[in-house]
Structure 1
Amino acid sequence: MDIDEVYKDIGEFGPFQQKIFWSLSLMQIFCAFHNIHNVYIGAEPSFKCIHGDKILNSCLKNNVPCDRYAFPGDDFSSIVSEWNLICDQGYKADLVQSFYMAGFLIGSFLFGFIADSYGRRCVLYSTAFGVSLMTILSVMAPSYTVYVTLRCVTGMLSAGFGMVSFTYTSEVIGQSKRGFMAITFPVMFAVGIAMYSLIAWFFRDWRYLALVTATPGVVGFYFYCSVPESPRWLFSQGRVPEAETVLETIALKNRGHAPNKAVQLRESSAEDVGHTKQKQPGIMAAFKHPELRRRTLNNMYTWFVNCCVYYGLTIGAGNLGSDMYISVALSGLIEIPAYFATWLFLDRIGRRPSFTWTMMVAAVVCMSIMALPDGYPNIRTALALCGKIGISVSFCIAWVYAAEMYPTNIRNKAMSVCNMTARLGGIFSPLILAVGRSHPSLDFLVFGAMTFLAALVSMRLPETANVPMPETIDDLDRPRSSERETILGAAITEDKLKLLEGEIGALEYEDAEVHT
């Protein structure tokens, strides 16, 4: 038997698997806390600039530093008031998020390698502990330099936990439930954005707020004591007896008794897996074939833009002029219907039109915000939320769409390239927002122009709805017959969707969710 057949026998989504699934799903809420950590902890409170005998309510012209700053309001505190990140030093507050995303990029590669080499379980509990430890240390940071360094390390650990938790969950549940998982994780992330706004409203001191985000570390104890290693990972490493033991343990905890017959995996399949891995093309194969190169370069840019604009609209929601807490909470809640709408768009109008037009909506809305005169904060917020819906849907589509257009033997590697460029977009997003502080609404012009160009570029991508997925690079050179595609597409749609659920579940991902 292979592992999917075993799951059908012992339970694809039994009580023990549900326990793991929901614990890791709920942890995406805390992942969201860290990803938008700087929205409130790096927010700028009201201040007064004291220069000589003058007391001003704004910065001096030409970025001339004030002699000192006073923060008379007691609304909230942040790292801005802690280290006077005002006026000519204001860019440093935005730079914290860029360093966090840089750590996120590094952690995606580092912990992906560790998880593949040493197992999923050790990464889960070590990164859960690590995120909490780094967050607690950041609360006690004596200087800005120490703080930003700790946030970079936190980003690395957070990336490891988020990515491996997605992979691990997909490996301990049955194939038929992976589609449900693919929706649940980003939905929980969106809920986390809204919850963080509520928590920030209660905890106005940035140190107490940071400590709240350190609480997930206790989950590390749970994974260390209660959760077994991924049976799929053990099987891929040739550790078949251990994989069989884990599967029997899952059956025992699901049913309350051992399975009727002993679990016996085909050891030859494990050997075939190892043999197949040796024949896999390298990551540069995504650039050597002309058609793959065109698709990869196209996806690299569209993923960069989607991640950049997604985090730009999320983090920038607090700078729209309306209530900071309500704006950010709404920007998270608005993603939930967007994710469910994604599957409706994919089935009804196809991949490419859905991808292109949702980006076009986000582009037009962002540029409309720039054209809006001052004094309309509520309208600005409403437009930004519309843009957030568009970019959330397109970013979610990007995962499914890209997975379908690459051959099976290079899919994971090509998706890793796309994910890397997406994280680069996350690094640049706070820097673009920093430009908007000194030149109001210019950040939305940049976001709109980038997204409009990405929408145009995406029109060159192939449609993949109801089209057989390529298995090898050689399949791309075969002529495409529309009649053949229609017949085959109709015949294999159900199998293709099931295969995609398995492929996407195995990808070492963030946003998202989704957005992840």
Structure 2
Amino acid sequence: MADPNPLLSQTSWGEPEAAPPLTEGKLDRRPSLDDTIEHCIGDFGWTQILQVTLVSFAWFFDAQQTFISIFTDAEPKWSCINSNSSSSCNENSNPCQLPRESWSWDFPASTSIISEWSLECAGAIITGLPASAFFSGCLVGGFALASLADSALGRKNMLVLSSLLMSLTGVITAASTNVWMYAGVRFIGGFARATVGTCALVLSTELVGKKYRENVGIIGFICFTLGFLSLPVIAFSLQGSSWRLIYLWTCVPSVLYSIAVFFLVRESPRWLFIKGRKEEFAETLRSIAAPSNRSSLTQSFFGRCADWGEKKQEADVFSALKILVEKGWSCRRLVAVMVVGFGIGIIYYGMPLGLGNLSFDLYLSVTLNALSEFPASLLTFLLIGKLDRKGSVLGLSLFSGVCSVCCVLVRWKVLQIILELMSFFSACTAFDIVLIYTIELFPTCVRNSAVAMVRQALVLGGALSPVLVAAGRTNGLLMSYGVFGVTISICGLFVVCLPETRGRVLSDTMEEEERKNAAFDGIYCV
């Protein structure tokens, strides 16, 4: 009688180390964990659609907290109380040089932290402190929490914990009484938020078969765009109301979302397997498998999987990061892709924060930038299976840099905003591709940590952006958009030293990835 599972009838399911040596130019085609999960999960069913969509929606709330300061920390418009008075007040005046009784805010002081706490003359360092504190918190949180999703907690639990803490911190932020408390709570919010996008991306791609992995990753980017786009809508609807309401309207739903993820989403079967939790691995595969394949997921089937064995890892929560830096090839890959990420991040986070320097309506310019993320995500979704990772990232980085520098050189405002949108669109597309690229560059045992570190590099660019934006207000666009463009162009060149990964099967252990590297020895820098 024919074996109902022909995939399992092939050669031994032993440890990866036991594989025969590769012949030149060939990869080991023995069934892997990827093949097993692909066989079990089958087609992209409704269960997977629900799971992936729910996980990816974490990006929606992530975007809101990332860019919320565009509105809560904005300097409101003001008007002269009596333009004919002896105070010589007019629209070109500096309010810091005018008597306080000669002008007033156009909206209630509570609409922004600037007006509520009288920070209009406090200087760029103080007014930019909350945004910088948030991104600094992201940096610290990323380094502190990056390895937990690979080691102790897993993808799902880390996502729930980060999302819940980010949301609760946002609610507390609304109770801030001064800029110092506000900046401190924003730092904590950034710390909690650091791994939300990373865990959502890795978990969503590990819940589906390899056929759909590239496209599934883009769902999160679309959700991020929707979250970004929701901000001007929420802010405009609350125009004239307290800035605190914006935090409450974005964070309370996020708390409810975190609870839903805890009860409705399954853990990554890949992570469960390599951690030796075979019973949970089996139960997870049964719950998300296509109905036509569930009958084949018998105890005998999982017994064969048990014979395969897992790669035991250290109990240290930072073990994944240690593995990354101890291996020369993985350390070089990580450094190269982080440099590329830093260059992209300085434009991706800096451009929206610097929109106030372009003399356009803030709500309109933010909306246009948010809308430009849609075609970027759509383009990536449609072409990710056909795009070479290296060439795409390099071309998009250079094009974004050129457009950013041109924003400094042109004086026509319409052309200026068009160039800004083109630069931001290119950076958004490069951002999407780099995260997918990073998933493909590193094996399962360190993947979440690697993606987290690349996100750290992106956020580092974001942490420096408010300083450059503040400098651009007083010293011209050269100090902001000019530096943005030069940085992303130079950093983008580092992608040439990374291997091309389009069409390659994901590895699960460092040894498996090293065997694949051996088949292409000498072709790539790392």
Find the counterpart in structure 2 of residue 119 from structure 1.
154
Q: Determine which of 186, 193, 206 is the counterpart of 1:151.
A: 186
Partner of 1:305: 343
TM-align CA RMSD? 4.0
**Is residue 2:17 matched to residue 1:17?**
no
Give me the whole-angstrom Cα distance separating, in 2, the residues matched to 1:79 and 1:195: 21
SS in 2 for 1:84: coil
Tell me the residue number matched to 2:23. none
Tell me how far apart the structure 2 counterparts of residues 326 and 260 of structure 1 sit (CA, whole Å). 55
Between 1:242-251 and 1:194-203, the stretch displaced more is: 242-251
Residue pair 2:141, 2:191 contacting (<8 A) in 1 also: yes
Counterpart contact for 1:29–1:190, Cα < 8 Å: yes
Confirm whether residue 132 of structure 1 aligns to residue 167 of structure 2. Answer: yes
1: distance between equivalents of 2:501 and 2:157?
A: 37
Residue 306 of structure 1: CA displacement? 0.6
1:235 equivalenced with 2:273 (yes/no): yes
Task: Work out whether residues 147 and 321 of structure 2, in 8 Å CA contact, stay in contact via their aligned partners in 1.
Answer: no
Please tell me the residue identity of whatever aligns with 1:283.
L
Tell me what 2:204 maps to: 169
Once residues 445 and 229 of structure 1 are traced to their aligned partners in structure 2, the CA distance between those partners, rounded to angstroms, is: 44
Instruction: Map 1:93-492; keep pairs closer than 5 Å.
Output: 93-115=127-149, 116-204=151-239, 205=241, 206-214=243-251, 215-250=253-288, 255=291, 259=295, 261-263=297-299, 264-265=301-302, 266=304, 268=306, 271-274=309-312, 282-285=323-326, 288=328, 297-342=335-380, 350-373=388-411, 376-401=412-437, 416-442=452-478, 443-456=480-493, 458=495, 471-472=513-514, 475=517, 480=522
- Letter matched to residue 219 of structure 2: T
Q: List runs of 5+ in structure 2 lacking aligned partners.
A: 1-7, 9-32, 507-511
After superposing the two structures, state which structure 1 stretch, 159-168 or 222-231, moved more.
222-231
CA contact (8 A) 1:12 1:175 kept: no
Cα gap change, 1:184/1:409 in structure 2, threshold over 3 Å: closer, same or farther?
Answer: closer
Displacement of 1:165: 2.3
Does the 8 A contact of 1:48 with 1:70 survive in 2? yes
Q: Which amino acid aligns with 2:482?
A: L
Conserved 8 A contact 1:408-1:472: no
Distance 1:477 1:231 in 2: 28
Following superposition, the deviation at residue 372 of structure 1 comes to 2.2
Query: Take 2:293 and 2:365, find their aligned partners in 1: how far apart are those partners?
Result: 51
**Counterparts in 2 of 1:255 and 1:211: CA distance versus 1, 3 Å:** same
C-alpha displacement of 1:318? 4.3
| 1:163 aligned counterpart, secondary structure | helix
Identity between Structure 1 and Structure 2 (%): 25
The answer to which of 71-80 and 454-463 deviates more is 454-463
DSSP 3-state at the match of 1:125: helix
Structure 1 residue identity aligned to 2:212: K
Moved more, 459-468 or 229-238: 459-468
1:505 matched residue in structure 2: none
Identify the structure with the greater helix proportion: 1
Could you tell me how far apart the structure 1 residues matched to 2:422 and 2:48 are? 37
Which moved further from structure 2: 406-415 or 83-92?
A: 406-415
1 CA distance for matches of 2:60 and 2:236? 17
What's the offset of the Cα at 1:304? 0.9
Secondary structure of the structure 2 residue equivalent to 1:274: coil
Output the CA distance in 1 between the equivalents of 2:165 and 2:308: 33
Q: Which residue of 1 aligns with 2:57?
A: 26
1:87 aligns with 2:125: no
Q: Structure 1: which amino acid aligns with 2:514?
A: T
Given that residues 317 and 327 in structure 1 are in contact (C-alpha distance below 8 angstroms), is that contact kept between their aligned partners in structure 2?
yes
* Structure 1 residue 281 displacement after superposition: 7.2
Within 1, Cα distance between the matches of 2:212 and 2:331?
Answer: 33
For 1:349 and 1:163, the matched residues in 2 are separated by 22
Q: Counterparts of 1:348 and 1:128 in 2: how far apart (Å)?
A: 33
Q: Which residue of 1 aligns with 2:21?
A: none
Q: Distance in 2 between matches of 1:103 and 1:112?
A: 13
**C-alpha distance in structure 1 between counterparts of 2:154 and 2:445, whole Å:** 22
Is the 2:401–2:488 Cα contact (8 Å) retained in structure 1?
A: yes
> Is 1:73 equivalent to 2:73 in the alignment?
no
Between Structure 1 and Structure 2, how many residues are aligned? Answer: 473
SS at match of 2:172: helix
When normalised by structure 2's length, the TM-score is: 0.77
AA paired with 1:14? G
TM-score, length of structure 1 as denominator length: 0.78
Higher alpha-carbon deviation: 98-107 or 67-76: 67-76
> Which piece of structure 1 moves more, 264-273 or 421-430?
264-273
Aligned partners of 1:305 and 1:70: how far apart in 2?
41
Tell me: CA distance 1:4–1:37, structure 2 relative to 1, closer, same or farther (3 Å). Answer: farther
Q: Give how far 1:185 is off.
A: 1.0
**Is contact 1:59–1:66 with CA below 8 Å preserved after alignment?**
no
